[in-house]
Structure 1
Amino acid sequence: MNKIKVLIVARTRTNNDQMRCIGGLAWEENEAQCYSVRLMNPRDLYRGRIIRRGFKGFWDTSAPYRIGDVWELTVRELEQKIPPHVEDVIVEDAILLKKIRVSEMYDRILYMLQKSRLPILWRGDPNNLFDGKIQFNKNGKGYIDKNNVSKCSTGFWLPDKNLYKSYDSNNKLCYRYKADNNRLYYIPYVGVFSKTPPVIKEGSLIRVSLSRWHRETEMCWLMISGWFEPPHPRLSCDLYG
């Protein structure tokens, strides 16, 4: 068992919006030495399957871990972690310490990331994400495969261009990035923000993640789970679901 403090930075929709995957930035003594974690629900770990096929650990939508919360958690490590999902920790006990204002999240997270012991902040175009391991298919969707596994599955991105709200061929919400060579990238949005703006502006702090391994394709897909804009007087907590 280990005690850590965690700032909640993402709640991701999963299981047809019936469950949540919850992510945070964790530290033990000094938040400037933070690292990324994914909080696993001990009551929902296996669902009757072996770990490689059925490992879940999702939370009910009512789970108390909200974006901006700071928690003291008692956690234990998994016996086995399957890269790139090395951030998983199992939550055994939790105490809410405080809540961070939405208007403070951008500066707070950026400071922590710049001091982090792990390289989980990327800048520029989507090809720089996850150690440059991301590949893109003909539809502009990003993924990794078994031959090119990244060191982690969650992090943050400071894009050098605006991203525009769009929909893919399956009518799923994405944000579109257009590169200098006019190539288009489509990154699905899977977060819980109740309002999705037409544009995520250049320089916003975007939280990105890789899905669990897809059993049929043996790929992990690139996703956006949320973003934080530079401080602005009109930014409201109404953005969060």
Structure 2
Amino acid sequence: MKELALILSKTQMNNGQVCMGGLTWSGRHIRLFDKQENYLPRSVDLAPRQILEIEFIERKNNKLPHVEDILVLNIGQRESLEDKISVKEFLESKNISIWRGHPDELFDKLIQWTPTGKGYIDENGGVPSHSVGFWISDKDLKRYDYKGVRYQYNSRIGWRNIKYKGIEESVPVIPAGTLLRVSLARWKTFNDEEQPKCWLQLSGWYDLGNRSD
């Protein structure tokens, strides 16, 4: 299958590889793997806002919520989205939903929160139909460092924090109104946990400082 795709995220993996995510021109969320079902190397010559012509096949046995995985067979002509339209305009042209407001709205309102404010989903609480999405926060997100870079959202009903996994340099504050890409990490258990979880993470942002609503 061949289709145009827009790359929208490049996130760091713990093994020196990167996870590349995007949207096809038909409006489908995708996550790029090589033919052997491996994540791409960190040195891969791909970056957010690139438009690519890709040839791909479906990755077999995708497990909810990670239904976006495809195996890339070939990458053809590429160009940049810059100076054409904004990412938000592109999303709107493809009728892609954007969550707005409090982070409790994310992923069909299925995110659960630990006492320290970290978000996750598990099978007991319900599994959403996909693992990536776009969000416009109604409050500034402030950076703090704890086991990596995190961004904190404060509200009267509790504070939330989201780990940042993008490759772009972090900033002290992400202003309210900025378009963000969020995702759910792969199923994993830590320590003595009996049930695996998918942890909420921040993949990147677009048009930093320019309100999107």
- Could you say whether these structures have the same fold, taking a TM-score greater than 0.5 normalized by the shorter chain as the test? yes
CA distance in 1, matches of 2:95, 2:74: 25
Pick aligned residue for 1:224 from 198, 202, 207 = 202
**Residue aligning to 1:154:** 132
Pick aligned residue for 1:41 from 21, 31, 34 = 34
Residue 117 to residue 35, structure 1, CA distance change in 2 (3 Å): farther
Give 5+ residue unaligned stretches, structure 1. 29-33, 46-56, 233-241
Cα displacement (A) at 1:61: 0.9
Cα displacement (A) at 1:74: 0.5
Alignment of 1:116-135 (within 5 A): 116=94, 119=97, 121-135=98-112
Cα displacement (A) at 1:36: 1.1
CA distance in 1, matches of 2:81, 2:96: 23
Give 5+ residue unaligned stretches, structure 2. none
CA distance in 2, matches of 1:142, 1:115: 30
Matched, 1:83 2:64: yes
**Residue aligning to 2:187:** 213
Matched, 1:188 2:163: yes
- Deviation string 1:159-200 (CA, Å, 9 cap, x unpaired) is 0010000123xx321000001x1511110001001x211100
C-alpha contact (below 8 Å) 2:175/2:209 kept by paired residues: no
Q: TM-score, normalised by structure 2?
A: 0.89
Pick aligned residue for 1:26 from 4, 17, 24 = 24
Answer 1 or 2: which has greater helix percent: 1
The one-letter code matched in structure 2 to 1:6 is: A
CA distance in 2, matches of 1:125, 1:176: 12
Cα displacement (A) at 1:158: 0.5
Alignment of 1:95-174 (within 5 A): 95-101=76-82, 104=83, 108-116=86-94, 119=97, 121-147=98-124, 148-168=126-146, 171-174=147-150
Cα displacement (A) at 1:82: 0.2
Please state whether the residue corresponding to 1:42 is helix, strand or coil: coil
**Residue aligning to 1:7:** 6
C-alpha contact (below 8 Å) 1:35/1:117 kept by paired residues: no
The one-letter code matched in structure 2 to 1:225 is: S
Percent of pairs identical after alignment?
A: 34
Please state whether the residue corresponding to 2:66 is helix, strand or coil: coil
Cα displacement (A) at 1:230: 5.5
CA distance in 1, matches of 2:89, 2:28: 13
- Deviation string 1:132-179 (CA, Å, 9 cap, x unpaired) is 1111111100000012101110111100010000123xx321000001
CA RMSD of aligned residues (A): 1.8
